[in-house]
Amino acid sequence: MRFSENRKQMIRMYILEKIGQKEKPVSRIAADAFGVNPSTIHAYINEMLAEQIIRKVKRGEYELVNREYAYDLKRSAGDLDTDTYAYTLCLLEHIKDFENNIKDIWSYAFSEMINNVMDHSAAENVRIIVKQNCLNTSVTILDDGIGIFRKIQDYFQLASIDDAVCELFKGKLTTDRENHSGEGIFFSSKLMDSFFIISSGKIFTNNKYDDSKIISLPSSEINGTCVYMSLSNHSHKSAMEIFDMYADVDGGFTKTRIPLKNMFDESPVSRSQAKRVCKRLDQFREVIVDFSEIEWMGQGFAHQMFVVFARSHPEINIVPVNMNETVSKMYQHVLNTNVL
């Protein structure tokens, strides 16, 4: 029985995903999933072995073939004069055959991160590491500059590095308003499947992560900033789709989302924590406060954000989402006891 090319590619992709997830025996899993003869699965596996996109570990067990490319750039050599030089040298060749939506995302995110290094870091040396297999591509950018969180803390005279990390989640943050919109990190972090910034012992990310992934990044090699970005080679995301999620009808960046679980090590309880979150929110028309994985919140935090700040900024729509029953009760409590 001969399959259409589309069905064959679907089965191959399924096999690759299961290999990437380290499930085994992959041949039996794929055969059962698609109701095909195991010999058909073995034929596809043998094709991918010949194409060198997977390798055999032992009988019935395979792994994806990963390739790594490293590039070193120096400011004094003119390597950081333009973002297009770094993009063309380090990334273009590795993504040129991808679909346009994926190339657009990589072009935007890579250029934004390199521009940050060029204009803000004062770094002399930058190392760019591209890792790639048939499913995913990742880019790590390491510089030996001042460190992004330290730069933000110093420029805005913030009390701590934690305050600087907190500000990044909101977007519209820049230390050079004349030349930068402050949107690059915000949108790049939404466009990517995984996005981390590591600096000064702190991590900015919108993603869940485990310690093993962070430890595996070469961020300890330098004292500046490590940016890690990862995207599926087969992603259906589009840059415009993500931009539209945070824009109004005129295209302005009017909405932001605050993932509280990424900002605080424990559940937020105090007015000072709420004030930290509310800082600069007057630049937006809608603020989504995401309570995912937050077990509870203190009365002071809830009152400061949803009563004090909300009353003083009636033009801003503050929308809490993903509240569990305990958090929701505190939210309702502060609203019901502070009716105008």
**What per-residue confidence (pLDDT) applies to 67?**
95
Q: Is 141 helix (H, G, I), strand (E, B) or coil?
A: strand
Q: What's the pLDDT band for 2 if we cut at 50, 70, 90? A: low
**What per-residue confidence (pLDDT) applies to 323?**
94
Q: What's the pLDDT band for 340 if we cut at 50, 70, 90? A: very low
What average pLDDT score do residues 103-130 get?
91
What average pLDDT score do residues 52-77 get?
93
**What per-residue confidence (pLDDT) applies to 219?**
55
In CATH, the number for domain 67-238 is 3.30.565.10
Q: What's the pLDDT band for 339 if we cut at 50, 70, 90? A: very low
Domains of the chain, residue spans: 5-64, 67-238, 254-336
Q: What's the pLDDT band for 179 if we cut at 50, 70, 90? A: low
Q: Phi/psi of residue 95, each to 5°?
A: -125, 5
Q: Phi/psi of residue 275, each to 5°?
A: -65, -35
| Arithmetic mean of pLDDT over the chain | 85
What Rg do the C-alpha atoms of the chain give, in angstroms?
23
Q: Is 263 helix (H, G, I), strand (E, B) or coil?
A: helix
| DSSP 8-state assignment for residue 104 | H
Q: Could you give the percent of the chain with pLDDT greater than 90?
A: 45
- Predicted confidence (pLDDT) per residue in 201-215, tens digit: 888 887 655 555 555
Structure tokens at 183: 């949107």
As a dihedral over the C-alpha atoms of residue 69, residue 150, residue 259, residue 213, rounded to 10 degrees, the angle is: 30
Q: Alpha-carbon distance 301 to 296, whole Å?
A: 11
Q: Is 201 helix (H, G, I), strand (E, B) or coil?
A: coil
What average pLDDT score do residues 15-26 get?
90
pLDDT at 86 over 50: yes
pLDDT at 136 over 80: yes
**What per-residue confidence (pLDDT) applies to 162?**
83
Q: Which residue has the higher pLDDT, 244 or 88?
A: 88
Q: What's the pLDDT band for 220 if we cut at 50, 70, 90? A: low
How far CA 35 is from CA of 4, 18, 46, 115, in Å, comes to 15, 16, 19, 50
Q: How many residues does the chain have?
A: 340
Q: Is 44 helix (H, G, I), strand (E, B) or coil?
A: helix
- Fold of the 5-64 domain: Arc Repressor Mutant, subunit A (1.10.10)
Q: Is 317 helix (H, G, I), strand (E, B) or coil?
A: strand
Q: What's the pLDDT band for 125 if we cut at 50, 70, 90? A: very high
How far CA 34 is from CA of 17, 63, 156, in Å, comes to 14, 21, 57
What average pLDDT score do residues 64-93 get?
94
pLDDT at 75 over 90: yes
Structure tokens at 312: 């003083």
Out of 99-103, 218-222, 233-237, 314-318, least confident range: 218-222
How far CA 267 is from CA of 31, 121, 165, 273, 280, in Å, comes to 46, 33, 17, 10, 22
What average pLDDT score do residues 89-101 get?
94
**Dihedral angle sign, alpha carbons of residues 335, 279, 265, 260:** positive
Q: Which residue has the higher pLDDT, 8 or 223?
A: 8
In CATH, the number for domain 254-336 is 3.30.750
Domains 67-238 and 254-336 share a fold: no
Q: What's the pLDDT band for 141 if we cut at 50, 70, 90? A: very high
Spell out the SS3 assignment of 62-87: EEECCEEEEEEEEHHHCCCCCHHHHH
This prediction's pTM? 0.77
- Predicted confidence (pLDDT) per residue in 248-299, tens digit: 544 456 788 888 887 887 888 888 889 888 888 888 888 999 998 899 899 9
